[in-house]
């Protein structure tokens, strides 16, 4: 067991390495000030970018271990118990658009900020000063607010704000009802609901049925999805790097449940001879995709959009089928039904690509970086809104074995976590009916 002295020494060693890497990349060291928000925005595909990520992860791992040891078990548990206060604060910060009302490179008085967002000054001061305690904003001098690096990021990156807004407001409401849903299933199964989401939003509908009837929530949901793929953790760049797309030639690629087509729009430049079909049952999302593709003549002739319910037989015979962040929304039984819909269209040699997080095999360990912990966080999301779960590699293999025993082969797995990303890629090949 490492001592606190050894951990601290390791941190010091890695920090020195990090400083040298930042100098090599021509980047200023990170600071809490507004200008300190871009210190680690480097291309992950370069050797310097990879070294920065790896070194940064080692520092975070060791630093979090040191913090937990120094806190002690009581303070650590209480920090977890009261973390809802942090989520509520950043939720109200984004809903009131407070970051957007604080000028970049300047400052604003609490009084003027109060007038701008129409919130009483005493209440606003409490909200903002709690945020300052968490590293959002700075108060300098007294009663004058300016940006920190983190609050400035919420202004400069609208995608980040969209993730926070949907993640804290909608997902947060559902997560807080997980204990009620679990206890209800245990203690009163006759009145149990499908998922915590049903308790939080007082509905018997599934999330997707609920979204179809709520235009504003649907918009926020797709802004959230678009926001995620525009951040490093969920970036489509990791999917682009995970498979030899450029070698596939003249093929047809179907993105099943592909929403507005952000995945195939990222893959299309790598596959100039390929044609793409985005399938989804959400008509507004498909229309968003059509509008986006219409603005790029090089994509318009190669990407089409089609309404499709992935529980119905697949109408398109293709070379490659992609399920990106789909199966984790569904139980094993429903996931097998979704995959079964492919069978009428599959030809021997067809590829089925699953782009999702992969849960590490036990025993479980402390996870101190967001990239490593995100699969556990997302697993809680799935529990809360779908009563579904993230899977291990063995779980995915079991789905395909149940689907059609002996007719699929797992060709390979590219780990996302090892590259600092959320999603991994599993490649299955259809061998043909035996």
Give catalytic residues, as residue numbers.
328
Neighbour tally for 256: CB within 10 Å: 23
Taking a C-beta distance cutoff of 8 angstroms, is the pair 163, 223 a contact?
no
Sign of CA dihedral 25, 26, 27, 28: positive
Residues with Cβ < 8 Å from 333, sequence gap 6 or more?
none
List, in sequence order, every residue forming a beta bridge with 253; answer none if it has no partner.
Answer: 276, 320
* Secondary-structure percent of the chain, ordered helix, strand, coil, rounded to 5: 55, 10, 30
Tokens of 420: 């600092």
Cβ neighbours for 125, distance < 8 A, ≥ 6 positions apart: 110, 143
Structure letter (DSSP) for residue 306: E
CA gyration radius for the chain?
23
Residue 249, judged by CB atoms within 10 A of its CB (0-12, 13-18, 19+), counts as: exposed
CA 237 to chain centre: 13
- Give yes or no for a cis peptide into 363 (omega within 30° of 0): yes
Is the preceding omega at residue 141 within 30 degrees of 0, hence cis? yes
Q: DSSP string spanning 145-198?
A: EE-BHHHHHHHH-HHHHHHHHHIIIIIHHHHTTHHHHHHHHHH-GGG--SSHHH
Nearest to 172 by CA among 145, 153, 197: 197
Containing H/E element for 2? Answer: none
Point out which residues pair with 255 in neighbouring strands: 278, 322
First to last CA, the chain: 53
């Amino acid at each position: 067991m490492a001592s606190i002295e050894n951990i601290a020494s390791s941190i010091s060693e890695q920090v020195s390495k990090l400083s040298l890497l930042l100098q090599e990349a021509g980047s200023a060291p990170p600071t809490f000030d507004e200008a300190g928000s871009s210190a680690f925005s480097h291309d992950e595909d370069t050797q310097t970018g990879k070294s920065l990520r790896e070194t940064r992860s080692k520092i975070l791992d060791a630093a979090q271990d040191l913090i937990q040891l120094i806190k002690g078990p009581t303070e650590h548990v209480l920090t977890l118990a009261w973390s809802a206060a942090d989520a509520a604060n950043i939720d109200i910060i984004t809903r009131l658009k407070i970051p957007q009302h604080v000028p970049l490179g300047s400052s604003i008085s609490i009084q003027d900020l109060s007038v701008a967002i129409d919130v009483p000054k005493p209440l606003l001061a409490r909200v903002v000063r709690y945020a300052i305690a968490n590293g959002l904003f700075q108060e300098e001098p007294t009663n004058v607010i300016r940006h920190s690096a983190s609050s400035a990021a919420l202004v400069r990156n609208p995608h980040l704000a969209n993730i926070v807004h949907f993640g804290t407001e909608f997902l947060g409401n559902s997560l807080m009802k997980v204990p009620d849903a679990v206890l209800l299933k245990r203690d009163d199964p006759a009145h149990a609901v499908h998922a915590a989401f049903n308790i939080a939003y007082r509905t018997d509908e599934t999330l997707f049925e609920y979204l179809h009837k709520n235009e504003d929530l649907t918009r926020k949901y797709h802004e959230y999805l678009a926001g995620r793929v525009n951040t490093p953790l969920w970036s489509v760049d990791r999917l682009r790097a995970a498979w030899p797309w450029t070698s596939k030639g003249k093929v047809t690629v179907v993105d099943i449940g592909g929403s507005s087509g952000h995945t195939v729009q990222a893959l299309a430049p790598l596959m100039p001879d390929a044609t793409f079909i985005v399938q989804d049952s959400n008509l507004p999302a498909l229309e968003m995709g059509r509008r986006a593709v219409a603005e790029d003549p090089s994509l318009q002739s190669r990407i089409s959009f089609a309404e499709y319910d992935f529980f119905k037989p697949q109408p398109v015979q293709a070379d490659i089928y992609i399920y990106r962040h789909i199966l984790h929304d569904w139980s094993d039984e429903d996931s097998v039904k979704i995959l079964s819909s492919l069978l009428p269209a599959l030809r021997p040699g067809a590829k089925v690509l699953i782009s999702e997080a992969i849960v590490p095999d036990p025993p479980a360990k402390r996870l101190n970086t967001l990239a490593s912990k995100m699969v556990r966080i997302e697993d809680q999301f799935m529990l809360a809104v779908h009563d579904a779960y993230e899977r291990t590699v063995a779980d995915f293999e079991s789905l395909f074995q149940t689907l059609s025993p002996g007719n699929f082969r797992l060709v390979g797995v590219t780990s996302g976590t090892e590259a600092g990303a959320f999603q991994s890629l599993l490649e299955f090949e259809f061998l043909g009916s035996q």
